[in-house]
Each structure stands twice: as C-alpha cells, then as structure tokens.
Amino acid sequence: DGGITQSPKYLFRKEGQNVTLSCEQNLNHDAMYWYRQDPGQGLRLIYYSQIVNDFQKGDIAEGYSVSREKKESFPLTVTSAQKNPTAFYLCASNTPGGGYTEAFFGQGTRLTVV
Amino acid sequence: KQEVTQIPAALSVPEGENLVLNCSFTDSAIYNLQWFRQDPGKGLTSLLLIQSSQREQTSGRLNASLDKSSGRSTLYIAASQPGDSATYLCAVTNNAGNMLTFGGGTRLMVKP
C-alpha cells in the first residue's frame, strides 16, 4: 500500500531542545517537501528536495534543517533557533515535470512546545 | 511571487445544496492546480488535479474548473452532504512542477 508516513503523530518539545520529525514515502517519488500549517491558515513551505543529497530553502526555512540521504526519507529537524515551533507539520512528495505531478501528503505531526 | 487566495474563508450550507468554492492565483504560469480536502487534525487528501492545458476535471459529485488566463479555479460540489464538512484547499504548482503554493482554505460546514 503506497503512501507517505509521518511520525510521530504528536511531539512535545522543551525549550532549547532540537527535535526531528520523520517522513518516509514508498511512492518512488523524486521530490519531497515540508510544510508548516498554523491554526486557520494555509500551508507554508519550509524546505524541499528534488533529488537525493540536494535540498532547497522554502519561504520559512529559518530555525529548521533537513537531510536527504535516501530517496524514501526526508527528516525535518526543528532546532532551538526556531522561536515559535508550535504548529502542524506536513510532508509531501511528487515527481516534478513530464506528467501527472500529483502531490501526496502524509497525515501530519503536531508539535507543541512545553 | 505567486499568491493564492480562496474565497470565502468559511461557508455554512444546509444539506442538499449545490455550492461553489473559489480560488484565484496571481501568476498564470502554472503547471497544474490541485484541490485538497483536510479534516481537522489530519493531512491533506487530493481531490482533483487539473493540468494547465485542461479546463476541468470531474470526480463523482465534484467538478473543478480552471481558467488559467484569468487566474481562477472553482470547485463545484453537487448535492452537499454533512460528510463533506471539511476545509478545502487549492494549490498551484509552478512551471517546473516542483513547488506548490497554497491558498488559505475554505472551511465548509454542511448542516443536516
């Protein structure tokens, strides 16, 4: 059953702590994305990666870091430099260009600072 | 920079009504447009995808249209049901097909 899996579903972070959100896909998609969603708002792009070992900053990359060592995996680290990390985080994937290019999303991780 | 706007922000209708959700975008150089559904606390489910060369797509009671030159799309929901209650998001993909820009969503409530 193909899809995108995000874990954990809920995550709590203490002040000054780094936390890592997992995103795995078995759709054989080339590109993966991280979005942040705040209550009542649309999605804002944090980082994206079009191929392994390459990634680009989105609109709100400050305080976040990513890696893309494998095609299937695109973890997001929320660092202590991110001053307002409480939000809903969504991971997506697609294969850009040359065809259907439909984006698929995971079920999200809700991060709360305690 | 691409900007996507959805109107209205919230909508409440009685069951059985037909309704239209609107999406507009500022840069017509898009690869495609997608409509998504989001239930509270959940991820996004893709409803319809319209390629830039297409005018509309249909799936069941849903019909999405695209007027690329005017920067507009509509999502038509026929015979609405309480189970349709959710937030509906539209997103446009840039010409390279590698980045989606989202609207703020329309929160739909269908009352029994």
pLDDT digits (tens, 9 = 90+) for A3-39: 999 999 999 988 889 999 999 999 999 999 999 999 8
Closest CB to B96 among A97, A105, A107:
A97
Q: How far is A15 from chain B (nearest CA, A)?
A: 24
Closest residue of B to A100, CA-based? B51
Name which of A107, A101, A112, A7 is nearest A50 in CA terms: A101
pLDDT digits (tens, 9 = 90+) for B10-19: 999 999 999 9
Q: How far is A50 from chain B (nearest CA, A)?
A: 7
In DSSP terms, which residues pair with B49 in a beta bridge? B34
